[in-house]
Amino acid sequence: MVPKILTVLFAFCLAFHASAQVPKNFEYGPRPPLSVFDPTGFLNPQLAKSISDPLTKIYQKEKIDVLVVVLTDLAGAPPEHVAKRFAQAWCTANIHAVVLHVPGRKDSPWIVPAGKLLEILNPKEVLKSLEEAQRRAAKEVTEPDKVKAAATEAADMLRYWTSNLINHSEQVQTERSQWIQKATEKARFRKMGLLLLAASTIPLVLGASMLILFLKNRGPRSFPSRDLQPRLGAPYSGGNFAVVKIGAPDL
């Protein structure tokens, strides 16, 4: 029985220890002034500042937030989960990333982007960019350099996406304006076409009426017959007085 209790106690302690490393209700408190959170002191202060200063400038100018977090252990949690917890607690920009490093881990550092703008991007493109950025950062020799490179790569990646989004947005605006212009022009041409059609109908109708009248009037004519009253015993004609002097021809 005692060994059982001890096993349970040991497991509980391990879990507690692990849970102490996982940020629940953000036990790390408010975000530090620097963009680098390194409670373990893995990065020397100079290096930490050299990483943090450019990231701070980028955030001030472009509202792109990159946070570097160095932890000793993730306690079995996936890196993305841990990184996102930090992002949720400390990042408010529309696009941000957490560069998470656990010293000694060969697959570290991890770059985890997040933010509302990420939802607009193509997931395949995001994954491809992340893999390339992490591969480039991993080429550095020392771990601190890898962290610095990963931070730089993360910042560049987010800036690239943001500018692409802006360009895309402008392109969409332009295309939309062009579409509206085309639609307006089409509507105008359609209106003109209808007016022309209406205007041309009048001469067409007139022309058709005249043609019908002309065709109607082309046929032979006949006068009504009447009872003939012969005069002076003449069988075919009673004579009349239609005579004029037309003069002599000049032959």
Partner 1 sequence: MFSDGPPLLPILDAVGIWKDADIRKIEAARGNVERRFPQIKWRICAVNLPAETSLPLFGFWLLNACPLNPEETPSDRSWTILLLIDIRSGQASITPGYAAESCLSDDEWQKVLNSMATYWQAGKTAKAVVRFFKSSRSELQTAWKRYKPRRSHR
Site for partner 1 in 219-248 (CB under 8 A): 220-226, 228-230, 233-248
| Binding flag, residue 215, partner 1 (CB under 8 A) | no
User: What is the smallest separation between the CB atom of 227 and partner 1, expressed in angstroms?
Assistant: 10
Tracing tokens 């004519």 back to the chain, one arrives at 221
User: What is the smallest separation between the CB atom of 235 and partner 1, expressed in angstroms?
Assistant: 6
| Binding flag, residue 25, partner 1 (CB under 8 A) | no
| Binding flag, residue 33, partner 1 (CB under 8 A) | no
**Are 147 and 103 within 8 A, CB to CB?**
no
* Beta carbon nearer to partner 1, 104 or 238: 238
Give 5's Cβ-side CA count (13 Å radius): 2
| Binding flag, residue 45, partner 1 (CB under 8 A) | no
| Binding flag, residue 3, partner 1 (CB under 8 A) | no
Task: Give the contacts of 88 (CB within 8 A, at least 6 positions apart).
Answer: 114
User: What is the smallest separation between the CB atom of 225 and partner 1, expressed in angstroms?
Assistant: 7
* Beta carbon nearer to partner 1, 202 or 246: 246
| Binding flag, residue 216, partner 1 (CB under 8 A) | no
| Number of chain positions touching partner 1 (CB under 8 A) | 29
* Beta carbon nearer to partner 1, 11 or 213: 213
**Are 28 and 37 within 8 A, CB to CB?**
yes
User: What is the smallest separation between the CB atom of 208 and partner 1, expressed in angstroms?
Assistant: 21
What does 29-96 look like in DSSP terms, one character per residue? Answer: -SPPSSSEE-TT--S-HHHHHHHHHHHHHHHHHH-EEEEEEE-S--TT--HHHHHHHHHHHH--SSEE
**Are 20 and 36 within 8 A, CB to CB?**
no
**Rg of the chain over CA atoms, in angstroms?**
48
- Return d(Cα 139, Cα 226) in angstroms, integer: 123
* Beta carbon nearer to partner 1, 29 or 247: 247
User: What is the smallest separation between the CB atom of 210 and partner 1, expressed in angstroms?
Assistant: 18
User: What is the smallest separation between the CB atom of 211 and partner 1, expressed in angstroms?
Assistant: 19
| Binding flag, residue 123, partner 1 (CB under 8 A) | no
Q: In what order do the strands lie in the sheet with 64-70?
A: 36-37, 64-70, 95-101, 110-114
Binding pattern for the stretch 170-189 against partner 1, x by CB under 8 A and - elsewhere = --------------------
* Beta carbon nearer to partner 1, 107 or 250: 250
- Return d(Cα 117, Cα 210) in angstroms, integer: 70
- Return d(Cα 87, Cα 93) in angstroms, integer: 10
β-bridge mates for residue 112, sequence order? 98
User: What is the smallest separation between the CB atom of 244 and partner 1, expressed in angstroms?
Assistant: 4
Question: Footprint of partner 1 on this chain (CB under 8 A)?
Answer: 220-226, 228-230, 233-251
